Structure 1
Amino acid sequence: MSDWRDERAEQIRRLILAADDGIVEEVKWRKPSNPDGVPTFSADGLICTLETYKDKIKTTFAYGASLPDPAHVFNASLTAGTRRAIDLTEDAALDEDAFTALVRAAVARNRDK
């Protein structure tokens, strides 16, 4: 049976993949404690990961600290040197346009390096 986390993860996945035709999804880091692994999204380098926890869905942008975030979508790992994350709980709203802009900025950052 599906729950809110499955639905939210699918929403995020769709937004990421729709942001740019060059984005590739892979599953990495399979281990006994996480046999399903972690979905990763790349385009000329890692963009982000998508992890499911008991109480949230976490999208971590590998180089989020270098991305513009005028809508303040990032709400986790805000003091990390390189990465930034978005934690979404069951009732949390997501600004889909601002999220898509972050994904596109991450792709552009990877292509410009």
Structure 2
Amino acid sequence: MTEEDPSALIDARIASLGDWRGETLAAMRALIREADPEVVETVKWRKPSNPNGVPVWEHAGILCTGEVYKGYVKLTFANGASLDDPTKLFNASLDGGTRRAIDLREGDMPDAAAFRALIGEAVAFNLAKPKKR
């Protein structure tokens, strides 16, 4: 793996946190990979003010991003407003027309089966979108 390998960059980001936020991001990453073995990890939006960039999980488009803040880990689903969320995992960005997010504070962990189902919904949504020419 090179230093620019997205999965290695995400590994390094998780390790650099060294607290519950890294553990939470690692746990959510594992659930994403379980839910979609074909998921592609990328890191986007790297810039001087955010040299680590943002971990992104994709399958036929962006599924979700994993941002880390001082008090919470935010998983933003690119097309969350279009996804079925029967267990009400989304608890942030609820007023947006497209995205929805899950904010996880220390000690929070969503129901694993419900989260994997949400990832499956996101994959199905992306696969159903008409292909751009």
Q: TM-score, normalised by structure 2?
A: 0.82
CA distance in 1, matches of 2:24, 2:35: 17
Map residues 46-65 of structure 1 onto 2, 5 A cutoff. Answer: 46-65=62-81
Match of 1:30 in 2: 46
Unmatched tracts of structure 2, length 5 or more = 1-16
Report the identity percentage: 56
Unmatched tracts of structure 1, length 5 or more = none
Q: Which has the larger radius of gyration?
A: 2
CA positional deviation for 1:112: 1.0
Aligned-residue Cα RMSD (Å) equals 1.0
Match of 2:4 in 1: none
CA positional deviation for 1:31: 0.9
Mapped pair 1:42 → 2:42: no
Higher helix residue share = 2
CA distance in 1, matches of 2:34, 2:49: 30
For 2:37, the aligned partner's letter is D
Match of 1:7 in 2: 23
CA distance in 2, matches of 1:20, 1:101: 10
Mapped pair 1:70 → 2:83: no
Mapped pair 1:82 → 2:98: yes
Number of aligned positions between the proteins: 113
